Amino acid sequence: MLFNSISFLIFFPIVVVLYFLIPHKYRWIFLLAASYYFYMSWKPEYIILIIVSTLIDYFASLHMEKQKEKKKKKKFLILSLISNLGLLFTFKYYNFFSNSLNVLLNKFNIFYDSPTFKLLLPVGISFYTFQTLSYSIDVYRGTKKAEKHLGYFALYVSFFPQLVAGPIERSTRLLPQFFEKHKFNSQRVSDGLKLMAWGFFKKVVIADRVAALVNQVYNNSEAYGGIPLLLATYFFAVQIYCDFSGYSDIAIGAAQVMGFSLMDNFRRPYYSKNISEFWSRWHISLSTWFKDYLYIPLGGNRVSKPRWYANLFIVFLVSGLWHGANWTFVIWGALHGFYLIFALWTKNIREKIYNLFSIPKESLLKKYINVFVTFHLVLFAWVFFRANTVNDAFNIVSKMLNVDPITFIKHATTLNFNVNLGLSKYEIFIAICSIIIMEIIHLYQRHNRMREFLSSKPRLIRWSIYYLIIIFILIFGEFNLTQFIYFQF
């Protein structure tokens, strides 16, 4: 069930009303049933994977806690790791590795066809396996007590607002919330609904509109010149942000309506001044996951410099692979790893350059330059993320690098590209207006809270703004039920 579907618009209010009507001690049963129904409306049989993962982690953690010897604890941790990563490998990576092996062997004139399976990737598998993995590791480390109540644990794994695309919640944060009795709070419900509306705006008005242009150009990249490809890449940066942060807002808002608090996943990442900051503001729940469960166990930065750089690089390679079983994602991850290492390596040199031109440390100019450069480094890496193949990505990059910026700006300001971009001039205009509206709100939110701004206004003005937003979403939104990009990860 997609958030941007009529089914969800019927499902969600029913769940909320029943949730508050049901006595607290039975709510977990209802929420669990609703979450399983939510997942099963996509492909019913794949619920078995969630149940298997839940049961293994539940029992493994209980046994882990009972063991006094670390060695024995480790056995259960390994069981949890193998089962979760095994699921992930089978459904997501097996065919990729098998095909890559075939290609590699063929290069050495060894013709071996390792078998591939026709398996549909279970929606959200990367999210819920990572969520349960973090739980098992926390129990192993002793930072979390094993959950005794199977029902609450199953709900932690499958809680529907964040089941298919995060935020990847830690058990220490989310699990205790299921035990709390959430009373109906009109302010919280209203805030949650506003956040959901904001998420819908980003998803259906912006992401799904620009997606038409991005798909048209990137899926036929050989037919397009540098200018349309550059435009499509800028639009993809907007698309992926609005798609994923829109999903996160709907998820966080939906949970908030029912009284749950999910972690923030995005904090205006394109305003980051360096790549390290970008990763502390983009897909925060995944970045912190990798930091806690991969980077630090590898030694983090408390090792020799080469090892530190290697650790960073490994984390980003794995992060790339987490996003998809394709070399394009691996290269995307590697690029980010390289950016980070390069930034660390050249930190002193860059400072010297700024000093040479007498640019103060905290100057606005330096900040703008950094934001501009960081955004364009991220943009460059998005080419590999979005391109269908590595070859396509390199062709796109080579065409884009030949674009004269002045010519591009001329085309962009007149919206005249002289080719079929999959969107009419009018639709591009609407997309750009919507992006401007979003950025104005982003800028406003840097120093103010939208919630307080709205609350301070009389009801007539407040409601008029809400009506305007809803009508804007309905009239300028794309309702072709486009799946969220991160569902495929």
Q: Which is nearer to another protein, 105 or 430 (CB)?
A: 430
Q: Which is nearer to another protein, 33 or 223 (CB)?
A: 223
For residues 172 to 191, the per-residue mask of contacts with another protein, x marking binding by CB under 8 A and - elsewhere, is ------------x-x--xx-
Closest approach of Cβ 383 to another protein, in Å? 23
Closest approach of Cβ 250 to another protein, in Å? 17
> In sequence order, which residues have a C-beta less than 8 Å from that of residue 20 and are 6 or more positions away?
184
What DSSP assignment string belongs to 418-434?
SS--SS-HHHHHHHHHH
What DSSP assignment string belongs to 111-150?
---------PPPTTHHHHHHHHHHHHHHHHHTSSPPP--H
Q: Which is nearer to another protein, 106 or 220 (CB)?
A: 220
Q: Which is nearer to another protein, 101 or 470 (CB)?
A: 470
> In sequence order, which residues have a C-beta less than 8 Å from that of residue 265 and are 6 or more positions away?
166, 167, 244, 245, 248, 252, 283, 284, 285
Q: Which is nearer to another protein, 41 or 280 (CB)?
A: 41
Among the listed ranges 278-286, 297-305, 402-410, 425-433, the one in contact with another protein (CB under 8 A) is: 425-433
Cβ-contact 143, 115 below 8 angstroms: no
Q: Which is nearer to another protein, 367 or 425 (CB)?
A: 425
Residue 209 in the binding site for another protein (CB under 8 A): yes
Cα–Cα distance between 431 and 437 in angstroms, integer?
Answer: 10
Burial readout 462-480 (b: 16 or more C-beta within 10 A, e: otherwise): eeeeeeebeeebeebbbee
Q: Which is nearer to another protein, 440 or 474 (CB)?
A: 474
Interacting residue with another protein among 116, 352, 479, 481 (CB under 8 A): 479
Cα–Cα distance between 83 and 133 in angstroms, integer?
Answer: 10
Count other Cβ atoms within 10 Å, centred on residue 384: 24
Closest approach of Cβ 34 to another protein, in Å? 21
Count of residues near another protein by CB under 8 A? 21
Cβ-contact 15, 22 below 8 angstroms: no
Interacting residue with another protein among 466, 469, 483, 488 (CB under 8 A): 466
Contacts of another protein in 1-60 (CB under 8 A)? 6
Among the listed ranges 64-72, 343-351, 446-454, 468-476, the one in contact with another protein (CB under 8 A) is: 468-476
Residue 418 in the binding site for another protein (CB under 8 A): no
Interacting residue with another protein among 478, 485, 486, 489 (CB under 8 A): 478
> In sequence order, which residues have a C-beta less than 8 Å from that of residue 443 and are 6 or more positions away?
none
Residue 349 in the binding site for another protein (CB under 8 A): no
Interacting residue with another protein among 57, 169, 392, 427 (CB under 8 A): 427
Closest approach of Cβ 220 to another protein, in Å? 9
Residue 477 in the binding site for another protein (CB under 8 A): yes
Catalytic residue from among 149, 283, 323, 336? 323
Cα–Cα distance between 288 and 113 in angstroms, integer?
Answer: 39
The burial of 304, by beta-carbon neighbours within 10 Å (0-12 exposed, 13-18 middle, 19 or more buried), is given as exposed
Residue 457 in the binding site for another protein (CB under 8 A): no
Among the listed ranges 102-110, 163-171, 281-289, 475-483, the one in contact with another protein (CB under 8 A) is: 475-483
Q: Which is nearer to another protein, 443 or 470 (CB)?
A: 470
Backbone CA torsion sign across 233, 236, 238, 240:
negative
Which residue in this structure is represented by tokens 């046994």?
63
Closest approach of Cβ 184 to another protein, in Å? 5
Closest approach of Cβ 468 to another protein, in Å? 10
Residue 470 in the binding site for another protein (CB under 8 A): yes
Catalytic residue list contains 63: no
Q: Which is nearer to another protein, 6 or 401 (CB)?
A: 6
Local structure of 183: helix, strand or coil: coil
Residue 424 in the binding site for another protein (CB under 8 A): yes
Residue 463 in the binding site for another protein (CB under 8 A): yes
Local structure of 388: helix, strand or coil: coil
Backbone CA torsion sign across 62, 66, 68, 72:
negative
Residue 465 in the binding site for another protein (CB under 8 A): no
* C-beta contacts of 136-143 below 8 A and 24+ residues apart: 136/57, 136/60, 136/61, 136/64, 136/76, 136/77, 136/80, 136/81, 136/84, 137/77, 137/293, 138/170, 138/171, 138/172, 139/61, 139/64, 139/65, 140/64, 140/73, 140/74, 140/76, 140/77, 143/172
The burial of 431, by beta-carbon neighbours within 10 Å (0-12 exposed, 13-18 middle, 19 or more buried), is given as buried
Residue 481 in the binding site for another protein (CB under 8 A): no
| Contact residues for another protein, defined by CB under 8 A | 6, 184, 186, 189-190, 209, 424, 426-427, 430, 463, 466-467, 470-471, 474-479
Residues catalogued as catalytic: 323
